[in-house]
Amino acid sequence: MGYSLNALFRLLLAWAAVACAVPATAQIAAPEVRASLVAQSSHPAAGHSVPLAIVIEPPHGWHIYWLNPGDSGYAPRFAWALPRGATISTPRHPVPTRMTIGGIAMNVHDGRTVLVADLALNAAIPPGTPLQIGGTIDLLVCSQESCVPEMVHLSHNLVVGDGETDPSARSLIASAQALLPQVVDARARYMVSGQTLTMQIDLPWHDTPDRIELFPVDPAGGVTGPVRIVDAHGGHMLISAALGTAHADVFGQVVLVERSADGGVTHAWQIAAQRGNPVAARQGGHVSNRAGVLSSVMVPVASAVLGGLLLNLMPCVFPILSLKAMALVRSGAGRREARSETLGYLVGAVGTMLMLGAAVLLLRAGGEAVGWAFQLQNPAVVAVLLLLVAAIAFNLAGLFELPALGFATLGSNGFFGGLGTGALAAFVATPCSGPFMAGALGAALVLPALAGLAIFAGLGFGLALPFLVIGFWEPARRRMPRPGAWMTILRHVLSVPMFATALGLSWLIGQQSGVGAMTAALGGVLLLGLALWLTGARQRSMLPAWPAMPGVVAALALAVFGVGTFALTPAAAHGSADVEPYSAARLSELQALHRPVLVYATAAWCLTCKVNEATSLNTQTVRQAFHRRGAVMMEADWTRSNPEVTRLLTANARAGVPLYLWYPVKGPVQVLPQVLSPGLVRTLVDG
């Protein structure tokens, strides 16, 4: 088969690592590998073929490699010595097992392995002719600690005869053939977008599988990330996976393995796939497939609408929505004006979500490791958001009036006033990822671009939905409280969550870039407050407010450039005795030590993350349960851009945080809900 340069380089690195780990005086003992040939008939008939079993038995704890070895190793290589008139087909491998050591993923056969080949005989060979079948196998045999190349010899004597089957050999070969992937003529299409593979397969699925694994057959095919089932309907399945170390051109032949909850192989198929749009392939199918096609898009869109609706309860969004609704009521706007402003709010919210979503999709298509709310990983952007939220809070507190912000003046500003307010609400809502959003945003990254944008539009629609109800449903407006002095009091009260949001954003800058950056940002807020105070004083004196504008510009410059300067030297990560920082290599080491692991992807700007950490992960009872069972918590911090954490999110079909993964000692990884409870976490550990 030969090596590719990359495979050879990885192999040399693996050997070098093993050599460095072994003392100079030590010597790796070569494992005793036994191999044998078993023919289904000891008297094969001329003009026919007979199945052969190639039995390879490394010692306990050692493994060999599959056709595509993955990120290290090489597959068995055969050199046959055959009599004239005899040929042997390429040996077929059983389903491999994915193994990860030190962050290197490999496709292996662990323990005794039986390959199957076919020995074909020419019809001209006379009966009674002895056949000596021989050859060698060049193997790389590895354990958890070392790898040793081995040359194993094969020999088997046959006599041409009537083809009578040997029952014991037939049983062995039948068992081995049952473990081979079934070669099927399935309809499959795939596409690669950025670092994400999406594939549509038509196979006789009876039920939605518990787990799917994907193995490119190409010897240099690399390893993909875990497979996520996006949709399964009527024998058609849409799956996605992080591209990992695989390449876009290695999926012409793949082995697809369906595993049960306990890790056993239920079915395995080898299929040929063509490049193309997976969703378009479904649309081009039978009419009965259309419901499944629609469900693959409509279900995440509906989830996005629900997720956007719940965003209105966030402390930075709720005041904007509340005051916008009261402004509409107090203005006494007629039906036409109310609907015009409501439509503006809808366009602003949906348009902002579409622009942010398009930016994510374009960057990912270009190979960038980004996800939802990626802009908040830049401290300068957070500084701009801090000044904006502080300005809203000062406005709600009554420090100044700015008619351009219709939500703040309790006056209706028509379509363009609603447009600006909707855009603002959508922008300040981006740090949040709540229930229903995770699956929807994850689907947006693996579906075609138009379907993904539809999901982002659904998120904006859900955000605007309460205001749409108020604007278009007159009974809702009539049930709103009558205007009065209480509205001014409520406005001042609603400034409190906005000030709290500003405080949280300043803390976030400190987490990202240190105390110096946070000080510069708060200095900008102070300067902005003075400028807005001057604006309010001039407004109350009926004077033009523009002389205060240089102060606003100076505040913006101080915050952005000050934070940007300190951001060149990010704050050091804070360690903990109870929580380890996430790395794929360390996770593999802990799994090799048979220790259960909880990985949680978080960010300082993620409110849901911080609530879960305070209530469910950092409690004394949970930490005691982890210590008692020898379990480990790993924090995957996404506050600043971290490609390794982004790969973790992408591999689990998530666009952003939070993400909670439980790796038990036995069994597949479990994706936990976005809202945790101490009881749920303790049950995992103690169970």
pLDDT for 206 equals: 64
pLDDT for 376 equals: 75
| Distance of alpha carbon 420 from alpha carbon 347, whole angstroms | 9
Between 119 and 559, name the one with better pLDDT: 119
- pTM comes to 0.54
pLDDT for 283 equals: 45
Angle at 576 between CA 571 and CA 582, to 5 degrees: 75
Q: DSSP of 162-206, one letter per residue?
A: S-PPPHHHHHHHHHHHHTSPEE---EEEEEEETTEEEEEEE---S
User: What average pLDDT score do residues 337-343 get?
Assistant: 85
Q: Give the CATH architecture of domain 5-180.
A: Sandwich (2.60)
pLDDT for 95 equals: 94
Q: How many other CB atoms are there within 10 angstroms of residue 549's CB atom?
A: 12
For 650: left if phi > 0, alpha if psi spans -120 to 50, otherwise beta; the answer is alpha
pLDDT for 431 equals: 64
CATH topology of domain 187-285: Immunoglobulin-like (2.60.40)
3-state secondary structure of 532: helix
For 604: left if phi > 0, alpha if psi spans -120 to 50, otherwise beta; the answer is alpha
Q: Please, what is the end-to-end C-alpha distance for the chain in angstroms?
A: 46
Residues 6+ apart with CB under 8 A from 438: 654, 655, 656, 658, 659, 674
pLDDT for 328 equals: 65
Residue 265 has pLDDT above 60, yes or no: yes
Residues 6+ apart with CB under 8 A from 171: none
Cα within 13 Å of Cα(507), Cβ side: 12
pLDDT in tens, 241-259: 888 889 888 999 999 998 8
Range with the poorest average pLDDT among 47-61, 313-327, 363-377, 450-464: 363-377
pLDDT for 331 equals: 59
Q: Does domain 579-686 have CATH number 3.40.30.10?
A: yes
pLDDT for 215 equals: 95
Residue 398 has pLDDT above 60, yes or no: yes
Domain boundaries, given as residue ranges, for the chain: 5-180, 187-285, 294-566, 579-686
Closest CA to 507 of 568, 553, 571: 571
Name the percent of the chain lying above pLDDT 70: 82
User: What average pLDDT score do residues 352-360 get?
Assistant: 87
Cβ(135)–Cβ(79) below 8 Å: yes
Residue 295 has pLDDT above 60, yes or no: no
Q: In this structure, which amino acid lies at residue 117?
A: A
Cβ(141)–Cβ(148) below 8 Å: yes
The two domains 5-180 and 187-285 share their CATH topology (first three levels equal): yes
User: What average pLDDT score do residues 102-128 get?
Assistant: 92
| Distance of alpha carbon 359 from alpha carbon 281, whole angstroms | 26
| Confidence label for 284 from pLDDT (cuts 50, 70 and 90) | very low
pLDDT in tens, 424-445: 888 877 766 556 676 677 667 6
| Confidence label for 13 from pLDDT (cuts 50, 70 and 90) | very low
C-alpha pair distances (Å), 396 with each of 343, 524, 577: 24, 19, 43
| Distance of alpha carbon 511 from alpha carbon 508, whole angstroms | 5
Closest CA to 604 of 357, 373, 392: 373
The per-residue pLDDT of the chain, averaged, comes to 81
Which residues is 274 bridged to in the sheet?
189
| Distance of alpha carbon 583 from alpha carbon 103, whole angstroms | 9
pLDDT for 210 equals: 74
Between 465 and 15, name the one with better pLDDT: 465
pLDDT for 402 equals: 62
pLDDT for 591 equals: 82
Cβ(549)–Cβ(504) below 8 Å: no
Cα within 13 Å of Cα(532), Cβ side: 23
Token duo for residue 240: 């996605």
Q: In this structure, which amino acid lies at residue 309?
A: L
**Pairing relationship of beta strands 265-272 and 182-183 according to DSSP bridges:** parallel
Residue 676 has pLDDT above 80, yes or no: yes
Backbone angles phi, psi at 39, to 5 degrees: -95, 145
pLDDT for 327 equals: 67
pLDDT for 279 equals: 61
User: What average pLDDT score do residues 503-515 get?
Assistant: 85
User: What average pLDDT score do residues 574-584 get?
Assistant: 74
Rounded to the nearest angstrom, the gap between the alpha carbon of residue 295 and the centroid of all alpha carbons in its chain is 21
Q: Which of 92-101, 478-487, 560-569 has the highest mean pLDDT?
A: 92-101
pLDDT in tens, 600-623: 999 887 877 888 888 899 888 898
| Confidence label for 504 from pLDDT (cuts 50, 70 and 90) | confident
Cβ(322)–Cβ(466) below 8 Å: no
Cβ(39)–Cβ(52) below 8 Å: yes
| Confidence label for 209 from pLDDT (cuts 50, 70 and 90) | confident
pLDDT in tens, 26-79: 345 668 899 999 999 999 999 999 999 999 999 998 999 999 999 889 999 999
pLDDT for 108 equals: 95
Residues 6+ apart with CB under 8 A from 193: 361, 364, 365, 446, 449
pLDDT in tens, 167-179: 999 999 999 999 9
pLDDT for 400 equals: 84
